[in-house]
């Protein structure tokens, strides 16, 4: 550190570029500091640091890293307290531009695999960005000295050195318990589990925190199961949603969408205190919705859509501007292509003509003039031929009673199992509508992307940057995926941008099946970590989180410059 402080004295008041000379490795009494990247001016992207805390300073118990979930939970626990310490370290460092800014990728309600904190039995590595202080465009060495000798040490002291072993033990116990529930779900063919007492609603449309004074979740007796979990003698009780077709009905404002949203988010684990710690869903469950205006490239939507006006091809369907129903059909087919095993659908965000067509409409608009085979006529084939389950919120049409294995009615936020009543109603009032159930579901086709088109625009390699959670800028082209609801954290979006930018595409003009590409990416993340797919492998950027393959696919599928080959 003496070395760093003496350089800072020497370059004080010089042009900002002189900061480049502090790049390098330094030793502080409590940690090692690597200044990996120095920003070019006070307004540029902040400089990137790594802080390494050796084992002898902060012991890491091997059992914290025993399973993947435990390791992620341990890193998450450190990430949370570091994030808090960074936020509390009120910026007393002054200057122009981003002077004194300290950034750390703080986790949200989900527990995700991240790159900001990397723990092994040997050390804890933390990635932080800082704005190196300046007066105008001149180096402010005094403020920089405060940054390195006061602010950073205090952040580390108030986080890594204060976090109790017991707090980490709690986090890994929760991870073990969540794993145990997921294991039971697999063994029993459940696609979702919601523990009694869970808090499903969120504080507001823009906050992911639990709503205070919410009605706790309570399973209907018919669906209730008990699961033994580790670290406690009390088994956990709650509702199991079985594979197959589950319908959620109920009056408006009685909590249907809230229930489905909790299930959507259950593909991720949540932190203690969130209320959804034991709301867990098949990790391959994908939310399907209408998304008019999206681009669609070479998707076989013919299971749902045929005979479009002007004989537009639907086995290899492309459009720059999909309609509600064609976008929803494409979303289903793409999810299946990427390997979805459960589909989650809410009437609120669906195209009505994609979901249902009733008897009277069938009489007025003849089958051969209606391009759409509604989802209701495909839902059973999905289950029986492809083994794909559906959880569907539908308060507006009883036609789905005919297809459902289970019907759950939400009333004042409490679910009841009304399957028998729904079936009785079907007996009394049989479907008038014609069902077109002949034939098979149809083909889920693998699509082949021209590899180089995923990284280039008209043959030129371009810069790829995440812009918040729902946009990636590729050169000047915007890739927008605002309706990809299970992409939950901007750090996941940054990870996808890094993938687009830094994955090797030596194959150039060769084609690659989307599935193969997704498999390759996942294998790389599994074996080499998130940090391996970046410009500075395993150093920076330290603000990445792991996305699922479905969300990676969602971005690639919405890339307007990607070229897909017809085979």
Contact residues for ligand ADP, defined by CB under 6 A: 200-201, 211, 214-215, 250, 252-258, 410, 413
DSSP 367: G
| Binder of residue 473, out of Mg ion, ligand ADP, none (CB less than 5 to 8 A by kind) | none
Q: Which is nearer to ligand ADP, 256 or 294 (CB)?
A: 256
Least distance in Å: CB of 397 to Mg ion?
A: 14
| Binder of residue 386, out of ligand ADP, Mg ion, none (CB less than 5 to 8 A by kind) | none
Least distance in Å: CB of 31 to ligand ADP?
A: 44
| Binder of residue 323, out of Mg ion, ligand ADP, none (CB less than 5 to 8 A by kind) | none
* Distance separating alpha carbons of residues 386 and 402, to the nearest angstrom: 19
Q: Which is nearer to ligand ADP, 215 or 424 (CB)?
A: 215
Tell which residue, 288, 300, 403, has the closest CA to residue 341: 288
* Distance separating alpha carbons of residues 50 and 71, to the nearest angstrom: 19
Least distance in Å: CB of 257 to Mg ion?
A: 3
Q: Which is nearer to ligand ADP, 194 or 372 (CB)?
A: 194
Tell which residue, 394, 388, 378, 391, has the closest CA to residue 246: 391
Residues 6+ apart with CB under 8 A from 208: 108, 109, 202
Tell which residue, 193, 168, 171, 170, has the closest CA to residue 183: 193
* Distance separating alpha carbons of residues 54 and 68, to the nearest angstrom: 21
Residues 6+ apart with CB under 8 A from 274: 109, 199, 209, 210
Q: How far is CA 516 from CA 317, 318, 504, 512, 522, in A?
A: 21, 21, 14, 7, 10
Q: Which is nearer to Mg ion, 185 or 410 (CB)?
A: 410
Instruction: Report CA torsion sign: 373, 376, 380, 386.
Output: positive
Least distance in Å: CB of 204 to ligand ADP?
A: 8
Least distance in Å: CB of 254 to ligand ADP?
A: 5
* Distance separating alpha carbons of residues 156 and 159, to the nearest angstrom: 5
DSSP 532: G
| Binder of residue 509, out of Mg ion, ligand ADP, none (CB less than 5 to 8 A by kind) | none
Tell me which residue has its CB nearest to Mg ion: 257
The number of angstroms, rounded, from the C-alpha of 324 to the middle of its chain's C-alpha atoms is: 23
* Distance separating alpha carbons of residues 122 and 119, to the nearest angstrom: 8
Least distance in Å: CB of 217 to ligand ADP?
A: 7
Least distance in Å: CB of 413 to ligand ADP?
A: 3
| Binder of residue 549, out of ligand ADP, Mg ion, none (CB less than 5 to 8 A by kind) | none
Which residue in the block uniquely carries the two structure tokens 């699509």?
Answer: 447
* Distance separating alpha carbons of residues 286 and 191, to the nearest angstrom: 12
Q: What is the largest CA-CA distance in the chain?
A: 89
Q: Which is nearer to ligand ADP, 213 or 310 (CB)?
A: 213
| Binder of residue 244, out of ligand ADP, Mg ion, none (CB less than 5 to 8 A by kind) | none
Q: Which is nearer to Mg ion, 282 or 346 (CB)?
A: 346
Q: Which is nearer to ligand ADP, 303 or 415 (CB)?
A: 415
Dig out the tokens for 232 from the structure: 């406690």
Note the residues at the interface with Mg ion (CB under 5 A): 256-257, 348
Bond preceding residue 541 cis, omega within 30 of 0: yes
Q: Which is nearer to ligand ADP, 211 or 513 (CB)?
A: 211
- Rounded to the nearest 5°, which phi and psi values hold at 344? -115, 120
Least distance in Å: CB of 380 to Mg ion?
A: 24
Q: Which is nearer to Mg ion, 235 or 251 (CB)?
A: 251
Q: Which is nearer to Mg ion, 392 or 500 (CB)?
A: 392
Per residue, the 3-state secondary structure of 457-472, as one string, reads: ECCEECCEEEECCCEE
Least distance in Å: CB of 347 to ligand ADP?
A: 8
Residues 6+ apart with CB under 8 A from 320: 295, 560
Q: Which is nearer to ligand ADP, 257 or 302 (CB)?
A: 257
What SS3 class is residue 274?
Answer: coil
| Binder of residue 252, out of ligand ADP, Mg ion, none (CB less than 5 to 8 A by kind) | ligand ADP
Q: How far is CA 401 from CA 263, 404, 427, in A?
A: 21, 5, 10
| Binder of residue 200, out of Mg ion, ligand ADP, none (CB less than 5 to 8 A by kind) | ligand ADP
Dig out the tokens for 510 from the structure: 């060769």
Residue 203 is inside which H or E element, if any? strand 202-204
Q: How far is CA 185 from CA 191, 192, 280, in A?
A: 7, 7, 9
Least distance in Å: CB of 209 to ligand ADP?
A: 12
- Rounded to the nearest 5°, which phi and psi values hold at 243? -55, 150
SS3 content of the chain, % helix, strand, coil (to 5): 35, 25, 40
Q: Are strands 406-411 and 414-417 parallel, antiparallel or unpaired?
A: antiparallel
Least distance in Å: CB of 239 to ligand ADP?
A: 13
Which residue in the block uniquely carries the two structure tokens 């370290």?
Answer: 89
- Rounded to the nearest 5°, which phi and psi values hold at 519? -60, -45
Q: Which is nearer to Mg ion, 257 or 493 (CB)?
A: 257
Least distance in Å: CB of 207 to ligand ADP?
A: 11
Q: Which is nearer to ligand ADP, 99 or 257 (CB)?
A: 257
Least distance in Å: CB of 523 to Mg ion?
A: 38
């Amino acid at each position: 550190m003496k070395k760093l402080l003496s350089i800072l004295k020497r370059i004080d008041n010089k042009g900002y570029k002189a900061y480049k000379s502090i790049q390098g490795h330094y030793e502080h009494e409590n940690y090692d500091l690597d200044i990996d990247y120095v920003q070019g001016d006070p307004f540029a992207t902040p400089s990137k640091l790594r802080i390494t805390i050796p084992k002898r300073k902060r012991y890491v118990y091997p059992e914290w890293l025993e399973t993947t979930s435990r390791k992620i939970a341990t890193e998450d626990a450190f990430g949370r307290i570091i994030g808090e310490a960074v936020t509390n370290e009120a910026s007393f460092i002054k200057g122009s531009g981003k002077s004194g800014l300290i950034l750390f990728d703080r986790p949200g309600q989900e527990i995700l695999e991240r790159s900001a904190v990397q723990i092994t039995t040997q050390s804890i590595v933390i990635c932080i960005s800082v704005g190196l202080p300046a007066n105008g465009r001149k180096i402010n060495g005094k403020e920089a000295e405060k940054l390195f000798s006061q602010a950073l040490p205090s952040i580390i002291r108030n986080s890594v050195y204060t976090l109790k072993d017991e707090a980490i033990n709690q986090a890994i116990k929760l991870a073990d318990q969540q794993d145990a529930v997921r294991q039971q779900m697999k063994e029993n063919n459940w696609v979702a589990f919601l523990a009694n007492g869970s808090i499903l609603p969120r504080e507001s449309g823009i906050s992911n925190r639990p709503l205070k004074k919410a009605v706790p979740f309570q399973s209907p007796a018919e669906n209730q199961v008990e699961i033994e979990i580790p670290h406690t003698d009390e088994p956990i009780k709650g509702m199991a949603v079985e594979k197959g077709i589950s319908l959620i009905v109920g009056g408006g404002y009685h909590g249907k969408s809230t229930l489905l949203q909790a299930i959507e988010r259950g593909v991720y684990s949540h932190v203690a205190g969130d209320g959804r710690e034991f709301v867990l869903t098949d990790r391959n469950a994908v939310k399907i919705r209408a998304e008019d205006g999206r681009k669609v490239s070479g998707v076989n939507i013919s299971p749902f859509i045929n005979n479009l006006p002007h004989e537009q091809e639907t086995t290899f369907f492309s459009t720059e501007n999909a309609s509600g129903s064609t976008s929803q059909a494409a979303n289903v087919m793409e999810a299946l292509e990427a390997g979805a095993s459960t589909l989650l659908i809410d009437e609120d965000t669906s195209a009505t003509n994609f979901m249902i067509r009733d008897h009277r409409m069938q009489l007025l608009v003849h089958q051969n003039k209606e391009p759409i085979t509604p989802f209701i006529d495909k839902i059973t084939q999905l289950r029986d031929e492809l083994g794909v389950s559906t959880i569907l919120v539908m308060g507006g049409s009883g036609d789905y009673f005919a297809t459902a294995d289970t019907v759950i009615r939400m009333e004042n936020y409490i679910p009841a199992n009304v399957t028998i009543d729904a079936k009785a109603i079907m007996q009394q009032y049989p479907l008038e509508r014609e069902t077109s159930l002949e034939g098979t579901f149809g083909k889920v086709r693998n699509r082949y992307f021209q590899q180089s088109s995923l990284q280039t625009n008209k043959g030129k390699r371009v810069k790829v940057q995440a812009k918040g959670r729902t946009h990636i800028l590729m050169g000047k082209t915007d890739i927008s995926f605002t309706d990809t609801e299970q992409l939950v954290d901007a750090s996941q979006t940054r990870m996808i941008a890094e993938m687009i930018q830094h994955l090797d595409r030596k194959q150039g003009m060769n084609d690659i099946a989307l599935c193969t590409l997704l498999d390759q990416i996942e294998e790389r993340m599994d074996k080499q970590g998130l940090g391996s797919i970046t410009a500075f492998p395993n150093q920076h950027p330290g603000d990445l989180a792991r996305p699922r393959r479905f969300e990676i696919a969602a971005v690639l599928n919405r890339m307007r410059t990607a070229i897909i080959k017809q085979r």
